[in-house]
Structure 1
């Protein structure tokens, strides 16, 4: 299997296994699905702590309003009585006014937060360091874990406007958000390797040959952004090792310069007249009584 180290810019994303005879079009689709799937998991995981601490999301027309404003406008959250967490709710007011404050109890909170950590670990960027390749099955497994945890805590489900439910049902609206800048639609995705765009009408072997044990770094980005920066000749880790070596060498030279020790001048090997005395037979002469 060919191993791809997928990056966006200079930031590692994940490892991906494929074959040399795969078409570039199919490869782009598969890599993009994993890339966007990981982003979806991250977005859900970012909402889980808020759900655990402050309960479900208020309807859009009630978000950000004070209690007095809600009373004056005679607004009511019809989902408050339907979406009750298992084991009862504990009130914890949401200061920013996005959630209703009816949070799950401590046991259910732990279910949500533990599942969130497990899902994040499954698709984490640290998998690159562990040499673990991420697949779409792993992404789906992480999503299923999050879906299951939410169903355990909220058996009646979440309101249709809750961002977690919208994400799980692929109904999310990211327009105007920072998250939308990270997502790459499949039709706009490109893969680059060694400063060259991998063209969709070719196969991977047209670029890297037929060796199935090849490992390469590819960069994913949106069409129209131009060629990404090429990988540096020296890796970040190698650069750190070089800097440490030069630093130690400088410290050694600094200590040598600061040392003013001329005691070696008293040694026999530093005596400039030793050879002359040896020829004259004046070596090993001792003065004084024996």
Structure 2
């Protein structure tokens, strides 16, 4: 099988296993789904960290308002009494004024923290084994792990407006956020190999050759971003090794 080392910019995102006989269309679809899946897990983990610190999210009309402003406008978080974490809570006010301040118990915080650590290790190449390939099944398992931990702490489910619940149901609205700039639209997705765009309707072998036991670098981007930078002909470690060898040779000639 061919191993694709998938990059966006200069960062290696994950390794993906495919075949030279696969269609470029299906490979690109999977690469984009994996990349966007990684981003989703990152977003969910960040929000669960906030959930563990400051409880469930406030209704949209209350976000950004302090207690005095809420009282003045007669706004009440009706979900605060419905979504009480297992084991009770203590008050830890959210300085960002996004969440209701009902921090779960230490035991429940640990449940959430453990799930975050494990989910990240499943999909982040820097935390997982470097030779491990990423699959859509792994991404789904990581999401299910996070979903299960949240359900343990909040068996009655989170409020429908909570970002975490919307992420789990794929109803999140990223409009106007930094996250929206990171996600790749499937209809605009492109991938490149050796400075060439891999066009749809082709076989991978038309770009990679017929050797089905190789490892290559491909780069993801989307329409309008232009061609990604070419890979360096000489890798940085190799360049340093060559410089060190040249220095040693120079020193030998001085003797």
Give the TM-score normalised by structure 2.
Answer: 0.94
Q: Is the 8 A contact 2:166 2:172 kept in 1?
A: yes
Cα deviation code 1:223-262 (max 9, x no counterpart)? 1222111100111222343455567778x68xx89xxxxx
- Aligned-partner Cα distance in 1 for 2:244–2:117: 35
Q: Is the 8 A contact 1:15 1:128 kept in 2?
A: no
User: Is structure 2 residue 146 aligned with structure 1 residue 151?
Assistant: no
Taking structure 1 as reference, are residues 94 and 203 closer, same or farther at Cα in structure 2, changes over 3 Å only?
same
- Aligned-partner Cα distance in 2 for 1:165–1:50: 14
Structure 2 partner of 1:205: 205
Q: Is the 8 A contact 2:32 2:189 kept in 1?
A: yes
Compute the displacement of 1:150 (Å): 0.2
Structure 2 partner of 1:132: 132
Compute the displacement of 1:10 (Å): 1.0
Counterparts of 1:231-250 in structure 2, within 5 Å, are 231-243=231-243
Q: Is the 8 A contact 1:191 1:220 kept in 2?
A: yes
Compute the displacement of 1:63 (Å): 1.1
Structure 1 partner of 2:101: 101
Taking structure 1 as reference, are residues 120 and 248 closer, same or farther at Cα in structure 2, changes over 3 Å only?
farther
- Aligned-partner Cα distance in 2 for 1:102–1:226: 47
Cα deviation code 1:156-176 (max 9, x no counterpart)? 111111111111110111111
- Aligned-partner Cα distance in 2 for 1:127–1:238: 24
SS at match of 1:221: strand
- Aligned-partner Cα distance in 1 for 2:26–2:96: 44
Taking structure 1 as reference, are residues 165 and 240 closer, same or farther at Cα in structure 2, changes over 3 Å only?
farther
Give the unaligned 5+ runs of structure 1: 258-290
Bigger radius of gyration among the two: 1
Counterparts of 1:1-290 in structure 2, within 5 Å, are 1-126=1-126, 130-243=130-243
**Residue correspondences, number:** 254
Give the unaligned 5+ runs of structure 2: none
SS at match of 2:65: coil
Q: More displaced, 143-152 or 172-181?
A: 172-181
**Cα RMSD after superposing both structures:** 1.8
SS at match of 1:230: coil
Compute the displacement of 1:212 (Å): 1.0
- Aligned-partner Cα distance in 1 for 2:161–2:243: 52
